[in-house]
Every structure is written in structure tokens, then in C-alpha cells.
Amino acid sequence: MRKQLSLLSLLGAGLALSGCAALGIGGSPGSNLDEFRVARNAPLVIPPDYSLTPPRAGTASLSPEGAQGQAIQALFGGPAPRPASETGLLEKAGADRAALGARSVAGSPDTAVVDKGALTQTILSAPAGDGQEASVQAP
């Protein structure tokens, strides 16, 4: 019985492998390879010079801001001139009178950006609670 079982398993494995060869999966070694399908990679090319010169030994180094400015100048060609409509809008909005640190203090709780009114200020400054002891007082 044991010999018949091993013979059947051996026969099944041989049948499975021959089925793979019939489908083109197995086959003889190298039958699916085509050496003419292999493409060569293009050679490496040195990129063009973007007028960023490497530092020279013994000379003063650029500051990081200078190097960044030089890179931006090389990539984008400097700042573009603003149209007259944009310049006029900025002048009317008072862009020249804006505080330098305005963005850093805009989110501060001490900054009154908009006049919210007394009732809104009272609601916003109310202590946090779970809603079980809520009360309303009309002025």
C-alpha cells in the first residue's frame, strides 16, 4: 500500500510538471530567454552648468542666504515685476505699514483681530464644562 501511494504521488508530480511544460511555464532552460530583447542603458550625461560655481579653497565662503539666493537666481531668474493692479491693491491695503511679526501674533489669544462684541467674548471666555450645569443669564 505504501509503495502504491509513493508511486502515485511520484506519478502526480511528473504529470504536474509536464503540464507546466505544455503551458510554456517550465520548458527547457533558456527557451524563453531572448538575448536581443536586452537593451543597454544610455550613458550617463553630465548636466549643463547652471552658473553655480563650486567653492574654491582659501576663498571666503558664501553665507547660506547667499548660496540660496544664488540658487534661486539661477533657477528662476530673479523676482518677477508685479503688475500695476497688484501694486495698487497692495498700496490700498497698507502693505507697507504692516508689522513684520504680524503672522506670529495673529493666532495669539491676546490679539483682538475682530471686535467680537461683549456677548461673544462672554461665551468664549466661559469655563469648559460637561453641559450638566448649564445656565443662562439674560442681560
> Which stretches of 24-101 are DSSP H helices?
64-76, 84-93
Cell numbers standing for residue 69: 539666493
* 128 Cβ neighbours under 8 A, 6+ residues apart: none
Higher confidence at residue 28 or residue 137? Answer: 137
**Interval 114-118 mean pLDDT:** 75
State the average pLDDT for the chain. Answer: 75
Compute the distance between CA of residue 8 and CA of residue 18 in angstroms, rounded to an integer.
15
Instruction: Return the higher-pLDDT residue of 6 and 112.
Output: 6
- For residues 123 and 133, what is the distance between their CA atoms, to the nearest angstrom? 15
CB 119 within 8 A of CB 137: no
Q: Give 24's pLDDT tier (boundaries 50, 70, 90).
A: low
Amino acid code (one letter) for 9 = S
What average pLDDT score do residues 79-91 get? 88
pLDDT at 133 over 80: no
The closest of 111, 139, 107, 109 to 124, measured between CA atoms, is 109
CA 120/CA 117 separation, integer angstroms: 6
Quick check: 9 pLDDT over 90?
no
